[in-house]
Amino acid sequence: MRCFEVKQILQENFTAAGVELEAEVKTHLDACVKCREYLQELNNMASALIPLDSFELTPEESLQLTNALDAQLIREPAPIPVQDRENRIFPIARILLSAAAVILMVILSTSPTQDISIADTDYEGVIEYSSLDDETMTSIFFDNDDDLLPSLFDQTSAAYLASQLRPGQVDDVFESITDEELAWLEKNFSLEI
Amino acid sequence: MTNERNLIQEAIQGDKKAFTSLVTTYQNRIFGFIMRMTANREIALDLTQDTFLAAYQNLRGFREDSSFSTWLHQIAANKTKNYLKRAKREVPLPENYDTPSEAYRPDNDYDRKEQQKMLLEAIGTLPEKQRSTFNLRYFEQMKFDEIARAQEVSVSAAKTNFSEAMKKLKKILGK
Ligand SMILES: [Zn+2]
């Protein structure tokens, strides 16, 4: 083994966990002062770097991190695995459409499906999740501007609401909405899956 | 490890508690990595939070061909890179360095803190890619092919970056 190779091996295996040496390298080191010196340099460097080995969050910081993450995670839909998702494209489209229908009926309160209520908190989640600005929100909720309704519903808020629907609710919605309503939903909520 | 795999599976199904357990396990390591990159506690804390949020959102993209720890570090390295690019702070200044709660740290920790500060300054003089490569390799013991993947460079480029970082650090630390 040549010195160049040995030094390269030593360097590439140099970590805070220590240098692990193969027998061949050890044999070379036993016989070579230059490479032993190089290893010593690495060891000195490792000693110098010890203060950077670990950083710890203070209990306050740790709590701050957990709380901040909890607040963000609560709005996140479950990260369903890709392969599952692929098998569920049709059901998901159905769920999202149902979710759209539910919120639509709640807002319009004119449909036979209005008895399919969603909890206030779920509804707030959709509003909070929507990327709409205040003005548009106001138009929808206070001026009843129906044309803007589809914009309330983006994919993220739909996914959120879909995750809040109770089992069976999807089927309930699909059974009770009219053909016209379904057509309108499909036309206006072109949700990309 | 099996336990970790279970926690990941549960988190993928939307179990936030399972995910929080993973956060608890890795928060100090991710925070440490980002501290060594940014030398700023407040920013490191923010970026740690960003890293875990992104991890949750992308959990379905986690492939078990690398360890969860490696995968998290790859996200953290990306977040840090973007931050440094945004802040145009190739050379981080160790400001805001002290822990917010002085009482938490033992008195004899003063020297260690001073040393840390000096070392962070030294590491901070490295270009971002070399600094990140050095951190991932030396402190996190990631394999070069994993580092290469994380940084979208070839394995030999990752080794060169590491070698360059070593050369510079040896010079600085040897003074
Ligand atoms: Zn030699």
**pLDDT score recorded for residue A121:** 41
Least CB–CB distance from A82: residue in B16, B60, B115 = B60
Q: Is A131 on the interface with B (CB under 8 A)?
A: no
Q: Do B119 and A55 touch (CB under 8 A)?
A: no
B111 against A128, higher pLDDT? B111
Find the domain containing B161 and state its range: 2-173
pTM of whole model > 0.90?
A: no
**pLDDT score recorded for residue A116:** 38
**pLDDT class for A161, splitting at 50, 70, 90?**
low
Q: What percent of chain B has pLDDT over 70?
A: 86
**pLDDT score recorded for residue A189:** 54
Q: Do A49 and B53 touch (CB under 8 A)?
A: no
Across A52-61, B39-48, B98-107, least confident range: B98-107
Look over chain A and give the mean of its residue pLDDT values, rounded to a whole number. 69
Give me the sign of the Cα torsion angle B136, B139, B140, B143: positive
Ligand 1 ion: nearby residues, β-carbon < 5 Å? A 3, 32, 34-35
Least CB–CB distance from B49: residue in A59, A68, A163 = A68
Across A73-77, A166-170, B155-159, least confident range: A166-170
Integer Cα distance of B115 and B30 in angstroms: 21
Kindly tell me if the per-residue pLDDT of A190 is higher than 70: no
What is the tally of structural domains in chain B? 1
Q: Do A58 and B101 touch (CB under 8 A)?
A: yes
- Averaged over A118-136, what is the pLDDT? 54
- Averaged over A37-65, what is the pLDDT? 92
A35 against B90, higher pLDDT? A35
B47: which 2 tokens? 């970026």
CA count, 13 A, side-chain hemisphere, A105: 21
Q: Do B141 and A59 touch (CB under 8 A)?
A: no
Q: Which of A85, A105, A91 is nearest to A170 (CA)?
A: A91
Provide DSSP, B75-129: HHHHHHHHHHHHHT-SS----S-S-S-GGGS-TTHHHHHHHHHHHHHHHHTS-HH
A95: which 2 tokens? 């769920």
Q: H or E element: which one contains B131?
A: helix B128-134
**pLDDT score recorded for residue B112:** 74
CA count, 13 A, side-chain hemisphere, B136: 32
- Averaged over A94-113, what is the pLDDT? 54
**pLDDT class for B153, splitting at 50, 70, 90?**
confident
Kindly tell me if the per-residue pLDDT of B37 is higher than 80: yes
- Averaged over B34-44, what is the pLDDT? 94
Kindly tell me if the per-residue pLDDT of A130 is higher than 80: no
**pLDDT class for A164, splitting at 50, 70, 90?**
low
* B81, B127 Cβ separation under 8 angstroms: no
**pLDDT score recorded for residue A107:** 53
**pLDDT score recorded for residue A114:** 37
Domain of B142: which CATH number? 1.10.1740.10
pLDDT tens-digit series, residues A3-24: 999 999 999 999 998 877 889 9
pLDDT tens-digit series, residues B63-85: 777 889 999 999 999 889 888 88
- Averaged over A146-167, what is the pLDDT? 57
**Three-state DSSP class for A117?**
coil
Distance A26 CA to ligand 1 centre (A): 10
- Averaged over A102-121, what is the pLDDT? 46
Integer Cα distance of A126 and A135 in angstroms: 16
- Averaged over B3-29, what is the pLDDT? 91
Question: What are the Cα distances from residue B98, in Å, to B35, B93, B152?
Answer: 12, 13, 34
**A72: which chain B residues are within 8 Å (Cβ-Cβ)?**
49, 53
Cite the DSSP H helix spans in chain A.
3-12, 23-31, 33-49, 59-73, 82-87, 89-108, 120-129, 134-141, 149-152, 155-164, 169-176, 179-188
A90 against A70, higher pLDDT? A70
Domain chopping of chain A, boundaries: 3-52, 85-189
Distance A35 CA to ligand 1 centre (A): 4
Q: In a mutagenesis test of the B interface, which of A5, A8, A11, A58 is the best target, namely the one with the most B β-carbons within 10 Å?
A: A58
